[in-house]
Structure 1
Amino acid sequence: MQYIDDSLEGKRILITGGAGFIGSNLALYFQKHHRARVVVFDSFRSEKTFSNGHFKSLGHFKNLLDFKGEVIVGDITNKADLERLETYNFDYIFHQAAISDTTIIHQEEILRTNVNAYKDLLNLCVHQGVKMIYASSAGVYGNSPAPNRIGSGEIPENVYGFSKLMMDNLTQKYLEEYPNLSIVGLRYFNVYGNKEVYKGKTASMVLQLGLQALKQKRVRLFKKGEQKRDFVYIEDVIQANIKAMESKKSGVYNVGSGNARSFNDIIACLKENLGEFAVEYFDNPYAFFQTHTEADITLTKEFLGYAPRFSLEYGVRDYLLKIKEIHANGLWDAIVG
């Protein structure tokens, strides 16, 4: 679906983390609906892993097999790589690159990647008058009471959430210092949908539970499956990013469905489409686990014109076509082992 009328013909767009889940969806959206010049910047998958065994880069070339634009291989923490971007004179930057694994405890690496690199990109925006749209996270709210509102209960439980809060704070500082600068931060809640498979074990529970049900006729959930999340389909996340391009109101906004749903609700959606399967509940090993998130999207609706279109039921049903394909070709097993 096309979310803005302007063709963006001749506009230059940079997508950092453009080979990842959300970044690749954005790149292909622009290619399908607008004749803009899109440049993808990503470090791409390598053998490098964190101490927990998860890949350091979630970008994968297969997410971009249909992409016809330009690709630059680079690391956002490498200033020499960032310098290569200075000659392009971009109109928009969609900054999706980050360490997004909430189980990583290497604080210095996360803050250097998520915060310092963001500041470098903001300086590029200042020098060239580029509009910045960047990925923040519901992780900034930690276990604060829901619904989650901008400016309230911003008490992250892990260093990833803290890094995103520091990015949001940096945004406010730059907007005060440079009044003509345009920056929109989007606090993503629990995003699920096509092209997340290469996230492996950090992929959404919708994907993981769907594949478990297909493969084993049994799924595993933290006790007792009543933890609630604001699950938002990738199509709505793309909509929010595109709406942010048009917005005249800089700031930070929540991006979710506006409704909290339980993990057991996912199970119900899967059973409705796949039939019966067993559910095994086990103890949650993570002390920082969020038990209830729910996006207050009042400001997002008012200033971005964002209106979520996909319920959990619709999103899961639509996504299952791709999940069945992932299962049939053994892709998940090849990725996670």
Structure 2
Amino acid sequence: MSNVLVTGGAGFIGSNIVEALVDRGDDVTVLDNFHTGTRENLEKVIDEIELVEAPCKKIPDYDFGDLDKIFHIGIPSSSPMYRENHLLVGEAINEFIKVLELAREKDAKMVYASSSSMYGRCEPPHSEDMEVAAFDYYTEARLAMERIAKVHNEFYNVESIGLRFFSVYGPHEQAKGKYANIITQFYWKMKKDEKSLIFGDGTQTRDFTHVSDIVQAALKAADSNHEYEIINVGTGKETTFNKVVEMLNEKLDKSIKPEYQENPIKNYIERTHADISKAKKLLDYKPTISLEEGIEQMIQREN
């Protein structure tokens, strides 16, 4: 059994990690400010965890006791959030440093959420050895975090693994609202017989990854003996938005055509496609949920 802190543990990805940690018998503390998290996401485990309602910037105000592992998932996770509030870049980075300092104090292994978005100017498939560059506020924050984690490893021996998540969807997304994955947003629309909105012609792609596979990778990363790594977590497959609509129509027994609009977003990412060979090698990671299975599960949960 490990003593574990999960920041953002009431949010989408964080709550799925918390459930898995509790299932395997770990002692879990959740820190969350409930920006896009809810207590409903933790209803299965609420009596088995300690819940602290606070932002990461308040970490120095709390005594978390002994910690073996920290999952830092409580990072603003959508590019539009940063477009709406540019100051979020500095806030997210400063909170990241506070979590690193806690990991240093507790001699705890840290696993944190990075992003596939930084491959936006790279040709797929995307591998960790590619030269990436920030091209918007969101990717600037995430890339800075990876660099700062490296500094903490070199200066203070803080062990950390950054996981570049690829287009995550699955249970507990409801509270994310307009920031939810595009699959989920399409589903919410189409089940009400409304048209999905697609920018462009729908040929853009994403490597859609079920949250259960994200959880698998995160736990394996925390249990590994790697001192510092950046690792992709995806499926190794890309799917067009048009194909997602087609699959949803088939599963819902509908024939709703999407609405296409000219793309108003600058620096829009046209394709994501993870090279997951590093995850396979270092974490023995293997994606288990196909897109078809993930969509079927989504529909079954809400029926």
Q: Indicate whether the TM-score tops 0.5.
A: yes
Runs of 4+ in structure 1 displaced over 6 angstroms? none
Partner of 2:6: 15
Please report how far the alpha carbon of residue 87 of structure 1 lies from its aligned counterpart in structure 2 after TM superposition: 4.3
Map 1:67-82 → 2, pairs under 5 A: 67=45, 68=47, 69-77=49-57, 81-82=58-59
1:119 maps to 97
Number of aligned pairs?
Answer: 298
Structure 2: distance between partners of 1:107 and 1:145? 29
Contact map agreement 1:43 1:59 (CA 8 A) in 2: yes
Which segments of 5 or more consecutive residues in structure 1 lack a partner in the other structure? 1-8, 45-56, 326-337
Residue in structure 2 matched with residue 159 of structure 1 by the alignment: 137
* 2:155 counterpart of 1:177: yes
Distance, in Å, in 1 between the alignment partners of 2:209 and 2:194 is 25
Offset, 1:108: 5.2
SS in 2 for 1:153: coil
**Residues 1:283 and 2:262 aligned together:** yes
Secondary structure of the residue that 1:111 maps to in structure 2? Answer: helix
SS of residue matched to 1:278: coil
1:218 partner SS:
coil
**1:29 is the counterpart of 2:20:** yes
Specify the code of the residue in structure 2 equivalent to 1:70: E
Question: Does structure 2 conserve the Cα–Cα contact (< 8 Å) formed by 1:24 and 1:195?
Answer: yes
Counterpart amino acid of residue 274 in structure 2: A
Q: CA deviation at 1:86?
A: 4.0
Distance in structure 1 (CA, Å) of the matches to 2:118 and 2:85:
15
Alpha-carbon distance in structure 2 between the residues aligned to 1:87 and 1:263 = 43
1:246 equivalent in structure 2: 223
Whether 2:212 is the aligned partner of 1:235: answer: yes
RMSD in angstroms over aligned alpha carbons? 1.6
The 3-state SS of whatever aligns with 2:292 is helix
Q: Is the 8 A contact 1:212 1:219 kept in 2?
A: yes
For the 8 Å contact 2:11–2:37, the answer to whether it is kept is yes
SS at match of 2:209: strand
Aligned match for 1:102, one of 79, 92, 100: 79
The corresponding residue for 2:288 is 309
Q: How much identity, in percent, do the aligned residues show?
A: 31
Write the distance in 2 (CA, Å) between the matches of 1:320 and 1:143. Answer: 34
- 1:210 corresponds to which of 187, 205, 214: 187
Q: Residue 220 of structure 1 contacts residue 282 of structure 1 at CA under 8 Å; is this kept in 2?
A: yes
Task: With the length of structure 1 as denominator, give the TM-score of the two structures.
Answer: 0.84
Q: How far apart in 1 are the matches of 2:194 and 2:61?
A: 49
Match of 1:135 in 2: 113
Shift in CA distance, 277/156, structure 1 to aligned 2, threshold 3 Å = same
Task: Note the C-alpha offset of 1:106.
Answer: 5.7
Deviation track 1:56-104 (CA, whole Å, cap 9, x = no partner) reads x111121112222110011112xxx212444412111000011223123
